[in-house]
Amino acid sequence: MIKIFSGTDNFESYSMAKKQAEKLAVDNNEEVKILNANEIDNPAAFVQYIEGVGMFSSSYVVFLKRLSLNKKLLDYFSDNYDALKVYDIVLWEDSKLDGRLKFFVKLKKEDVSFTFDLGKDRDIKSWLNIEAKKKNVKFTDFQLTNMVVNLGLDKWKLINEVEKISIYLSAEKKETLTDEEFNKIIGFEVSGDIWKLVEAFSSRKAKQCLQEYYKISSYEENGQYIIAMIERELSNLALLHYAKKDGIPDSQIGMHPFVLQKLKAKMNNFSLNDIQKYLKKLFDLDRSIKSGDIDEKVGLSLYILSV
């Protein structure tokens, strides 16, 4: 049987797809074979693999990721669905399915399509609290709210922070964090404040931004983290510009309301052309730093001053 898991909550869809593949493997005494659709050159390569599996009594459950990125393979699945569904194939897409595609419509009709979408911020808080307890991490409501507000609704990122805190608590033989410890571990205070840096950047306050950068960089080498955070801020501002242009309501943007309102207050500081320019400069800077063409602190200082 072919089953597909998808939706805007790609953490949950991936987790459930993986559990389904593992369950099939246990039930049928098989192994799970994970494949990336975009790495399969043509349908023949997949056919050879799947037919080879068949010769050995379906010794694998095939876990195929991002089929939609490989049009030829997607078309093959659509045209040969009946022949393929005799195998154990679990499909995972990291976003919503395109409802216009014939193959995905077929899966929905056969009731083998499972969708997982992000909830509201309060739902994410509840989920985060449950996941934290599984790792013996106890957050205060203030800490939970801070994580969701500042890190967004990305469950991958949130669970990574829980893992980090779990390791810290285990090493310190503690059950809870003080707010000061929490801020330092998450990065809200790193002898300087990464969030103040980002806020100053998107407000185009170069001097304030540079001051925070100097405090942060004197504590540890974290230029790649700062580049990633600036890129995230610029990308979010671009998203708001496109949403406004296309008439997309706030409820469909997928941001915490508090974060959304803060960004909307700053989106006019950068036009779309500005954002594209600064993203390109950031990409070029990142490449120059990694290739050793420019010192990281010099390059980031000059970049920040240009805002």
Q: What is the residue-wise DSSP string for 125-166?
A: HHHHHHHHHHTT-B--HHHHHHHHHHHTT-HHHHHHHHHHHH
Residue 304: name the closest of 202, 187, 166 by CA.
202
How does residue 57 score in pLDDT terms, banded at 50, 70 and 90?
A: very low
Residue 204: per-residue pLDDT: 93
How high is the pLDDT of residue 53? 55
Average pLDDT over residues 239-248: 87
Structure tokens at 156: 């991958």
**Chain centre to alpha carbon of residue 59:** 32
**What is the reported pLDDT for 51?**
65
Answer whether residue 52 shows pLDDT above 70.
no
What is the residue-averaged pLDDT of the chain? 85
Q: Which range is least confidently modeled, 149-153, 225-229, 266-270? A: 149-153
- Considering the entire predicted model, what is its pTM? 0.58
Residue 128 has pLDDT above 60, yes or no: yes
Average pLDDT over residues 118-144: 87
- Number of helices (H), then strands (E), in the chain: 15, 5
Higher pLDDT, 261 or 64: 64
pLDDT of 296 higher than 90: no
